[in-house]
Amino acid sequence: MSERDIFEDALCRVREIGGDAGVDPEVIAALMHPKAMLTASLPVRMDDGTTRYFVGYRCRYNTVLGPTKGGVRYHPQVTRSEVQALALWMTVKCAVVGLPYGGAKGGVIVQPKELSPLELERLSRAYVRAMADFIGPDVDIPAPDVYTNARIMGWMVDEFEAIHRVRAPAVITGKPIALGGSLGREEATGRGAYLVTMELIRRRGLDPKQLSVAVQGLGNAGYHVARLLQKEGLRIVALSDSRGGIHASEGFDVDSIWKEKQASRQMRAVYCQESVCELVAHRQISNAELLGLDVDILIPAALEGVITPDNVAGIRAPYIVEVANGPILSDAESVLLERGAVVVPDVLANAGGVTASYFEWVQNRSGYAWTLEEVRERLAAMMSRAFGAVWDVAEQEQRSLRSAAYALAFRRIGEAVGAHGTREYFQAGRDAPG
């Protein structure tokens, strides 16, 4: 997807859904423009003594509901447009779940697999030095994203605290537990997706034990949603990573494949007992083939823009749960909806991560840590409430789940915008003091 396309595609949905939902034009106008965007050159001393320069971005999209929140990704294909689109989606996501946040996103153009651990640390600290006046516990709170993790967040917190000479664990979430991280944060995106998938199954009256699932992208989120769905009796028949996938109609043991992937860095169809793993019958497939499998539930959990007008005709799953951000382009989704497919949108399906990040932020600010069970219970309650609210709007107004989620988010944002006064208020001069 071109740099222009991804952000334009995101804005297209804002215009179309906002207009159809009768949202005040001032709200739509506000959501068409990022509040602030910072681009920085990050000098990093490499292990061989040379200095390389990396481009870093941070977008604070909208602050009407509160400080902005969003991850930082390290990827060679990061673009300014992608960061803006992701920040817009995060704005909608936070409003859908009811979090007191606006949306943000950050990224660095880098292939992190090519860096040594020390180079990765220097890059992470350089990013925070560049963003030190742009982020903060009451301003903008970063978190992990693609190819970033708890350790990297720990380096970032340490650098921010050293620059400002304060103790500020709430500036970044997704940290190691020892540095103020929250129990349950690592699994939260996948667990949230699992929770909304089970809500979908319940409301559609489906039998979990009769359902097959294909998951594109066995990263952290993909692993946890697959693992948890398998425990509910669903058959996980296909899994993939960036290099390709595996398929077996009788299903896989997700934990065995994950264990092998962590040990060998390879996607291998295995079944493990203790330390002994053996290959199981399967066939190798490409990521493109995985998307077109005849399964009940398709879960794109990799990167954005994987289902396009060019390949949508081959998508056969009647239910799609977007664990990745923006995996379905708007033109492709219209085809799926006409066909009767049900799409659980990313702004709902993967909101478990930002919800658990909110929990971590709350714990850091209060100085009180919750148990894992408390985190899971609160996450289940919020995800269930959010799914129910979106489902009700979809049912009552005959909308798709994405249209319902966006309409719900825009209305909540609109209430905050309206509290400051809109064109109608100022033209009418109502409630003037004096």
Please name the helix (run of DSSP H) or strand (run of DSSP E) that holds residue 265, with its range, or none: none
Question: Backbone phi, then psi, for 106, in 5-degree steps?
Answer: -140, 165
Is 105 a known active-site residue? yes
Burial class (CB in 10 A: 0-12, 13-18, 19+), 293: buried
Question: What does the alpha-carbon distance between residue 61 and residue 64 come to, in Å, rounded to a whole number?
Answer: 10
Which of 93, 105, 175, 261 is flagged as catalytic?
105
Closest residue by Cα to residue 317 from 391, 244, 237:
237
Altogether, the residues listed in the chain come to a count of 434
**Number of CB atoms found within 10 A of residue 275's CB:** 7
Torsion sign across C-alpha atoms 149, 244, 88, 38: positive
* Residue 309 CB neighbour total at 10 angstroms: 13
Tell me the C-alpha to C-alpha distance, in Å, between residue 276 and each of 107, 207, 257, 260. Answer: 39, 33, 12, 10
Query: Nearest 5 degrees, angle CA 32-CA 36-CA 41?
Result: 125
111 exposure class (CB count in 10 Å sphere: 0-12, 13-18, 19+): exposed
Burial status of residue 4 (CB atoms within 10 A of its CB: 0-12, 13-18, 19 or more): exposed
Dihedral sign from CA coordinates of 63, 66, 68, 69: negative
- Catalogue the active-site residues: 105
